[in-house]
């Protein structure tokens, strides 16, 4: 049975274009594979605290030395990693805010990146410790940035995900959504067509 983890981060929640595209992708995948299980993590509705000194200390303190509060922080972070490990594929709904990823998504990533747990350092550099699996990113942008220096999202997402072991990453972009209704509809139609082609090609 296929297990999908969908991660949303739009401030507009279910009305966000990235969320709707991710929902469309997941719905088409379920049509193809009705036994698919989906777990949705909405980081805007349920944001994680930003990483601070207290939370960082908890994540790096040995288990037998943690306070009760530190143990609770680690348990929350462990559950996030378990969601990743238990999924057979991951779907990100990714809006662009001020040329970057949403801060709630950055907080989520900060809780995933844990030395000795999700990655380790070796003589040849860092090695991700999570099992690789397909990652699909539905990226919605108001302007047009793909392939330009202002697109800080694409390489950041690829770099971070590879850092923890997730290297099989595919993007579908919907850009120019704030450049008029015609541009918006054309871009969304193109993104939905890419979704259909991608799902059709999946085994």
Q: Binding site residues for FMN, as ranges?
A: 10, 96-99
Place of tokens 């040995």: 62
3-class DSSP state for residue 42? Answer: strand
Token digits of residue 175: 């850009």
**End-to-end CA distance of the chain, in Å?**
13
Token digits of residue 52: 């601070």
Provide the CA 147 distance to its chain's centre, in angstroms: 20
Q: What angle do CA 39, 93, 52 make, to 5 degrees?
A: 85
CA–CA separation, 25 vs 28, rounded Å? 5
Token digits of residue 59: 């994540």
Spatial CA neighbour of 174 closest among 150, 136, 141, 135: 141
Instruction: Specify binding-site residues.
Output: 10, 96-99
Provide the CA 63 distance to its chain's centre, in angstroms: 28
């Amino acid at each position: 049975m296929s297990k999908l983890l969908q991660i949303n981060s739009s401030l507009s929640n279910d009305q966000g274009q990235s969320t709707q595209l991710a929902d469309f992708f997941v719905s088409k995948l379920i049509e193809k594979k009705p036994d698919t299980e989906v777990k949705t993590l909405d980081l805007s509705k349920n944001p994680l605290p930003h990483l601070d000194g207290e939370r960082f200390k908890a994540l790096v303190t040995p288990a037998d030395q943690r306070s009760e509060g530190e143990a609770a922080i680690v348990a929350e972070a462990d559950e996030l990693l378990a969601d990743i490990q238990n999924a057979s594929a991951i779907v990100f709904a990714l809006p662009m805010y001020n040329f970057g990823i949403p801060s709630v998504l950055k907080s989520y990533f900060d809780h995933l990146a844990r030395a000795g747990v999700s990655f380790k350092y070796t003589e040849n550099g860092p090695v991700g410790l999570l099992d690789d699996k397909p990652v699909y990113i539905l990226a919605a942008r108001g302007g047009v940035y793909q392939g330009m220096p202002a697109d800080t999202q694409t390489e950041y997402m690829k770099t971070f995900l590879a850092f923890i072991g997730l290297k099989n990453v595919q993007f579908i972009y919907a850009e120019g959504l704030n450049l008029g209704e015609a541009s918006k509809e054309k871009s969304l139609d193109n993104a939905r067509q890419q979704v259909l082609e991608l799902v059709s090609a999946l085994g």
